[in-house]
Amino acid sequence: MNETFAVIPSPLGHIRITATNEQITEITFIGEAEALQPASIPLLQTAATQLQEYFNGSRTEFTFPFGQQGTPFQQRVWAGLLNIPFGKTISYKTMAIRLGDEKCIRAAGTANGKNQLAIVVPCHRVVGTNGALVGYAGELWRKQWLLEHEAKHSGLATQSALFV
């Protein structure tokens, strides 16, 4: 599989976008660890543009093709994340219940944490049962920023309104 990448600026630090010729395979926060790298293929250019539109508040959904490798359970968790509306959150417990077994909460949380498509597969929209911001591979300050950004651009006024 031949992959290429771009590194773009964002309000949350640099973001690396990795792609094959067919799909985006990874979107990760890298802070300022790497120099900016322009998008060299149309798919990377589209993804970079749509992410910039998300950050400026004019985009709530992504239309470029994306996918990531994972177990069947991880794929179920990631598919479920795509059903959380922009500007809303669910708890890890609710996510486990939606997967059919409240007892799989830890496994669901682990799968959530292995998501390699930040923002696009919105793992940042999953919070603790009490609404606490817990468990985000991109660091909790980014999770808070993303949730506040989405609340602002969705018209939701308060944190309590974030829950589905």
Q: Which residue has the tokens 């660890």?
A: 33
Residue 113 near residue 90, CB atoms below 8 Å: no
21/54 Cα distance (integer angstroms): 23
Catalytic residue among 118, 123, 126, 147: 123
Q: Which of 12, 13, 6 has the alpha carbon at shortest distance from 48?
A: 6
Task: Verify whether residue 123 is a known catalytic residue.
Answer: yes
Count CB atoms within 10 A of the CB of residue 164. Answer: 12
Helix axes 72-81, 105-113, angle to 10 degrees: 80
At position 28, the amino acid (one-letter code) is T
Task: Give the count of alpha carbons within 13 A of 83, CB side only.
Answer: 11
What positions carry a catalytic annotation? 123
